[in-house]
Amino acid sequence: MKILMLSKACLVGPYQKKVEEISRFSDVEMLLLVPESWKGDGREQKLERQHINGYEIKTSRIIMNGHFHLHFYPWLSQVIHRFRPDIFHIDEEPYNLATGQAVALAKRHNICPIFFSWQNLDKRYPPPFNWIERYCLKHSHAIAGSKAAGQVLQSHGFKNALEIIPQFGVDPEIFRPNECKSKSADFVIGFAGRVTPEKGIRVLIEALKICGSGFTLRIAGDGPLTPEFLANGVQAELMGHITADRMPDYLRTLDVLVLPSIPSSRWKEQFGRVLVEAMSCGVPVIGSDSGEIPHVIGDAGLITPAGDPKQLAAALKRLKDDEKLASKFKEAGRNRATSEFSHRSIALETVRFYRRLMLEKG
């Protein structure tokens, strides 16, 4: 099978590990196409060549760089013509212009297209995006990152082949426990991500006030609510944005990783990748009941009601005081991350889907 994968996310070096794992299968020949760079959240992500064994990677010019819905690739037709793939794996939502462009080209060249979707809310889009979505749902197969995302696709009329597979996994060899972790005087709580209201930052601040002394918050990320930690007198270490290659070392300094996201009418947590990374590092996790978080954590941590600082504070105190429970979560998290969310397991499920589509195509 010749697979063409289009993915701006794979500019990030660690995410290339999934492509490398897919390419290990003897019946797969892979070409990964990425933009020259991607501009988002005030940063420009350039290509990091970290996991590039067993497949070819090419860069392409991109139009409307940084515009999630409107970007597209002017030389995509030439790439398809030269490589002649059997399957075109498009790492984009079905309502994006780049996805519509890719599916239309795949249909023209008798190639089997697959798009990817995280969208777990039943949103309806204005023209032309609803037209693009309708076209892609009719003429493409799909991978959804969660059951909720798959249900949204089906509620929009999607009837083609569908698999539920997270977009990217974790490398257990890189995100591994630290057996020699030095014991801090305080119980170290980690938060990694954008410091925004929907991520539950204010809930976390109130929970820390309830907890009192003996707790330190270590924040990997930045955002508009960062100053509130200082204004509220919370014991916090503000580390700013941490690159993907530094994330394992950061996680291994923690006693617990917290993701207290709050759902809204327009957003709820689609996955919570940092949870899986922490679990793989043997760090217990606490998450809210927003979106996909409870399904990701499973038996590897604690779930608290979204927006409830008292329940979050109680969970933090419980983990601090119960070393046996913390040890149980460390082991369960590591096992769950390795078996359910590793790049290898996600690659295996993806290749199985490729093979199924090839058989159906005949």
Which pLDDT score, from 0 to 100, does residue 243 have? 86
* Contact yes or no for 316/189 (Cβ under 8 A): yes
pTM given for the model: 0.90
Which pLDDT score, from 0 to 100, does residue 246 have? 92
* Structure-token match 């590897």, residue found: 300
The answer on pLDDT for 184 being more than 80 is no
Asked if domains 2-169+342-361 and 187-340 share a fold, the reply is yes
CATH number (3.40.50.1970, 3.40.1190.10, 3.40.50.2000, 3.40.50.720) of 187-340 reads 3.40.50.2000
User: DSSP E strands: which ranges in 159-313?
Assistant: 162-164, 187-192, 215-220, 236-238, 256-259, 285-288, 301-304
* Cα–Cα nearest to 120, from 349, 290, 343, 298: 290
The answer on pLDDT for 244 being more than 90 is no
Q: How many CB atoms lie within 10 A of CB 108?
A: 10
Domain ranges of the chain: 2-169+342-361, 187-340
* Contact yes or no for 131/104 (Cβ under 8 A): no
Contacts of 208 by beta carbon, 8 Å cutoff, 6+ apart: 189, 215, 217, 234, 235, 236, 313
**pLDDT tens-digit readout, 47-59:** 999 999 999 999 9
**pLDDT tens-digit readout, 255-283:** 999 999 999 888 899 999 999 999 999 99
Cα–Cα distance measured from residue 268 to residue 109, given in angstroms and rounded to the nearest whole number: 37
* Contact yes or no for 314/321 (Cβ under 8 A): no
Mapping DSSP to helix (H, G, I), strand (E, B) and coil, where does residue 263 land?
Answer: coil
Which pLDDT score, from 0 to 100, does residue 153 have? 97
Q: How many CB atoms lie within 10 A of CB 156?
A: 19
In the DSSP assignment, the letter for residue 341 is S
What share of the chain in percent tops pLDDT 90? Answer: 85
* Cα–Cα nearest to 156, from 140, 139, 134, 129: 134
Cα–Cα distance measured from residue 53 to residue 23, given in angstroms and rounded to the nearest whole number: 8
* The length of the chain, given as a count of residues: 362
* Contact yes or no for 137/153 (Cβ under 8 A): yes
Cα–Cα distance measured from residue 79 to residue 84, given in angstroms and rounded to the nearest whole number: 8
The answer on pLDDT for 65 being more than 90 is yes
Which pLDDT score, from 0 to 100, does residue 223 have? 87
**Taking phi first (over 0 means left), then psi (-120 to 50 degrees means alpha), and beta for anything else, what does residue 70 get?**
alpha
Instruction: Take residue 109 and report the two structure tokens written for it.
Output: 């060249």
**pLDDT tens-digit readout, 95-104:** 999 999 999 9
**pLDDT tens-digit readout, 123-165:** 999 999 999 999 999 999 999 999 999 999 999 999 999 999 9
* Contact yes or no for 268/121 (Cβ under 8 A): yes
The answer on pLDDT for 182 being more than 70 is no
Cα–Cα distance measured from residue 202 to residue 199, given in angstroms and rounded to the nearest whole number: 9
What CATH architecture does domain 2-169+342-361 belong to? 3-Layer(aba) Sandwich (3.40)
Cα–Cα distance measured from residue 208 to residue 144, given in angstroms and rounded to the nearest whole number: 36
**Mean pLDDT of all residues belonging to the chain:** 94
Q: Please, is 194 exposed, middle or buried when counting C-beta atoms within 10 Å of its C-beta (0-12, 13-18, 19+)?
A: middle
Reported as a pLDDT band with limits 50, 70 and 90, residue 180 is low
Residues 170-194 have a mean pLDDT of 86
